[in-house]
Structures are given as C-alpha cells and as structure tokens.
Homo-oligomer: A and B are copies of this chain.
Amino acid sequence: MKIELAENYGFCFGVKRAIKIAEENKNSSTYGPLIHNNKEIARLEEDFKVGLTDDHKSFKSGDKAIVRTHGIPKDELAELKENRVDVVDATCPYVTKPQQICQDMSEEGYDIIIFGDEAHPEIKGVKSYATHGARVVTCPKDLEDLKLKDKIALVAQTTRKVEDYMEVANYLIPRYKEVRVFNTICNATFENQEAVRKISTQADVMIIIGGKNSSNTKQLFSISHDNCPDSYHIEDENDLDYSWFINKEFCGISAGASTPDWIIQNVVNSIQEQIK
C-alpha cells in the first residue's frame, strides 16, 4: 500500500508562532489551551514548564499569561491588563483580523454576522469585539428569522470551509442592500483543504490527524469523507485500527493546523510497520 502525505498539511503559521512564543516564555501559563492539541500542550508543559489555566481571574499582578492562538474576549484581555498581568499575546494574526473587522464594522453601523461555531473560543473572542453585538450562524437557515439592517458585514471563522461560507453569503446578498464580505478564512486553511480535496479523490483510505476539538481538523475530515468514504479522524497512532488498511492500495494522510510533525511521523511509522 502506498502512503502519501497531502501537499499541504499540519502546522500553520499561527500555531508555529504561538509555540515559539510559548517556548520562549518558560514558567508561564496559557489562558485556555494554546492550540487544540493536548499532546503538544503536554510537551510544552514538560519541556518548557508552560502551564495551563482555564480561569483568567487566577492570574495575579506580575504573572505571565500567554493568550492562546484563538484569542480571548476583549473584556477578559482588558481585565488581565488592568490587573497588571504580563500579557504575552499569541493570538494568531489571522484571528486578530476578524476581531478588528468586528470592532470597525460596529463603529460604522453595520449589522455583523459571524459564520462559525458560537461555542468555539475563536468565535467567542471575535464576537466580543462587535461592540453592538453580532449573530453567529452556521448555515443560511440560521438567518431566516432575523431582521437585519440593510448594511451587513460578514466574517468567517478562520478554519471554515469556503463553500459553506459562500452559502451564507449567497443567502444574504440578494436580500440586503449591502453585504460586505470579509474573507477571513486563513490561507493555511485554504491550502490544507485544497490539498486534502485533491488527495482524497485518489486515495482509497484517508487518515486525518488532529485534536477532536480542532475545528480545522473537523473540516479536513469532512472534505476527505465527501470524496473517500473510508476516511478516519484520529488524534494519534493509538487510535489506528489496522483493519482499515486491508485490501487498500493508497493511503492518503493529512493533519490539522495544530498537529505537530512528530505525531504525524508516529502515525506514518505505525501504519508502515503494520502493513509490512
């Protein structure tokens, strides 16, 4: 069986940057998981003494707090700074962008629609910058009963599928006078999705590696599954089931933006050993 990695996969610019920031700030704590990969977080704790707390109020004056790649709500950031916590911002610049757009568009009087997952930390953060509020939607149906202004600003969670974003845009445009569509899906997401789209049409089994709570990994899995029904989302080599590879000829592999290379390599090695 041939094993091949997608042309683009794994760590994106924002995640690499955040890990570098964490490694340079030993003996600190992140507020919330730095990235959606528990194993990489465990490595940072073990090798660099970078801890993790889920409560921003636990930081005291002089403590060092690393802001996660997904960003945090505006009021919590302000509170940390008020309390003289030493804030080290590892928010991905691609996430800072929709935060800024929400703030600017609120000031300009637009109704703001955010396409994404309301429960995801990135969206909690982005939404908090819409000073007059925003609606978070996942599909056109969520828009049906809304009464909106004639000026709408639309932003997307950075890790979403562009096709799904377009469905929301296509619902709004004919119904409102102005829809200002910001393409805030990040380049790494575009590239990883495009690559998984390509390889999954050729492979007869696909392995997608990434945290179960990783939004971008879930999107990669969804695209892969559309083209290759034998697609599996795993966190690491321990989740592999070798029956998946029986009578298969081509195994494609991709990984989410928060999946470190060492986990991907472990998965490839494990598959190779088993199919010998």
Contacts and interface: CB of A to CB of B under 8 A. Distances in A.
Nearest to A183: B177
Interface stretch (A55-63, A167-175, A262-270): A167-175
Contact of A179 (B162, B176, B177, B181): B181
Interface string A172-198: 011111111111000000000000000
Enumerate the 4 nearest inter-chain pairs by beta-carbon distance, A residue then B residue, closest first: A180-B180, A179-B181, A162-B174, A173-B181
A183 B169 CA distance: 12
Interface residues of A, number: 16
A21 B113 CA distance: 42
Interface in A151-168: 162, 165-166
A197 to B, nearest CB: 13
Contacts of A176: 183
A179 B179 CA distance: 8
A108 B183 CA distance: 19
